[in-house]
Amino acid sequence: MASPVSDILQSIALAGKAYEKNGSGSREALIELGRALVGELEIPSEFVQRSFWAEPAMSAIVRIAVNAQLFQHLKDAGDNGLDASTLANKTGVHELLLQRLMRHLVTMHLVTFHDGAFHGTKLSNGLAEERYQHSVSFCYDVSRPIFNKFPEYFQKTGYRPPSLGALDGPFQDTHGTDLAFFEWLVSTPPHLQHFDSFMTAYRAGKAEWHEPGFYPVAERLITGYHDPPTTNDVLLVDVGGGRGHDVATFAAHHPSHPGRIILQDREPVIAGVLASCGEGKSLPFEAQAHDFFTPQPVRGARAYFLHSILHDWGDDEGVRILENLVPALERGYSRVLLNEIVLSEEKPTLAATSMDMMMLAHFAVRERTEAEWRGILGKAGLRVVQIYSYPGVAESLIEAELA
């Protein structure tokens, strides 16, 4: 019988061949197999050293790197790299300290050292982008302190989960506030800007729900669309869609789509979208102010799309949001599309469980399993038609209709 290590190595070889052919999800599979290999080979002393020395130290050094613009300097230097003295002068970090910090980043494969100079890598050059610099700041300054206080907080609460959506959760306990997460972000700049960048970076490089191989848009939305359509027919309503990223990319990927596309969000958000459009420019969608805790005003659309909306709320609020959609649905025609994480109980992914921990830390809410999604949809009078997933993408696309 093959050992677990042999099985993992065989899987790595197969995933490697798929990666060479640019197979979907092969890169993520290789990363996960690498973690599995470490899990099989690592002994407890090495686990403690990596988890509680090496990785926390790396996070702290990367946060320093943001302040000192270290990755930007390495990126600008290109193939020549920078010796310790020059890099120290550019960053303002004492040369002796800099050398110690950089050696650790070399060990963690974030940068390299050769020919007497430090060199950026593809990864560190990517981290030089503003959205990732902001993401590092948000995760280190806001999120990490919450995780550090998990043991104390849950010991204090008898290891019980916080009430869903409560304002006395781990976030409030750590940051000493009675405010909800988003209210606190607004009141403590620049955290809101950093969080917005973090959310933009979170999905970067991943397939969108409407791309080929994910959700079959032509088959499930366009085929069967009202024929002939009227001027008032709506193909897609993005409920709580923020500044319109999803509907903009949907329209770009499906330029010949029939019907209207509508973006909905709160009035201040929509006002910002319209203001940023600029004179003489047109949006690829209509923008409409709407609170999803009130009845849906657009009736009989082909699809109502909600991206990572319900995971921000407890079950009762989630049911209310869905119940406000139900009267607008046309039986046998309208669909509800939820772009959400569906937690696997047997093989959860790092992307899914880490987001679940983020939701626990910041909002006192949770990601849901398939059974939990079916339950919340059922309470609102909906049924799951099918759940679509894409290799390497944390979120699935849940298609539902009137029960």
- Give the residue from 269, 306, 311 showing the smallest Cα distance to 287: 269
Specify the pLDDT at position 229.
Answer: 61
Asked whether the predicted pLDDT for residue 277 surpasses 80, the reply is no
> Which CATH number fits the domain 217-402, given the four candidates 3.90.230.10, 3.30.300.90, 3.40.50.620, 3.40.50.150?
3.40.50.150
**Helix, strand, coil shares, percent, the chain, to 5:** 55, 15, 35
Q: Class of 4-127 per CATH?
A: mainly alpha
Specify the pLDDT at position 276.
Answer: 81
Specify the pLDDT at position 275.
Answer: 85
pLDDT tens digits for range 241-271 = 988 989 999 999 999 999 999 999 999 889 8
Neighbours of 359 (CB within 10 A): 16
pLDDT tens digits for range 302-337 = 999 999 999 999 899 999 999 999 999 999 999 999
- DSSP of 173-194: HHHT--S-HHHHHHHSTTHHHH
Confidence of residue 31 (pLDDT cuts 50, 70, 90): very high
Active site residues: 311
Give dist(CA 299, CA 282) in Å, integer.
24
Specify the pLDDT at position 231.
Answer: 59
pLDDT tens digits for range 58-84 = 999 999 999 999 999 999 999 999 999
**Which is higher by pLDDT, 132 or 271?**
132
Domain limits, the chain: 4-127, 136-202, 217-402
Q: What is the overall mean pLDDT for the chain?
A: 94
- Give the residue from 313, 319, 318 showing the smallest Cα distance to 364: 313
The pTM of this model reads 0.91
Residue range 205-234: average pLDDT? 87
Specify the pLDDT at position 279.
Answer: 56
Specify the pLDDT at position 376.
Answer: 97
Asked whether the predicted pLDDT for residue 197 surpasses 60, the reply is yes
Specify the pLDDT at position 230.
Answer: 63
Specify the pLDDT at position 43.
Answer: 98
Asked whether the predicted pLDDT for residue 398 surpasses 70, the reply is yes
Q: Identify the weakest region by mean pLDDT among 14-23, 94-103, 194-203, 367-376.
A: 194-203
pLDDT tens digits for range 1-10 = 678 999 999 9
Confidence of residue 278 (pLDDT cuts 50, 70, 90): low
Is residue 208 within 8 A of residue 249, CB to CB? The reply is yes
Confidence of residue 53 (pLDDT cuts 50, 70, 90): very high
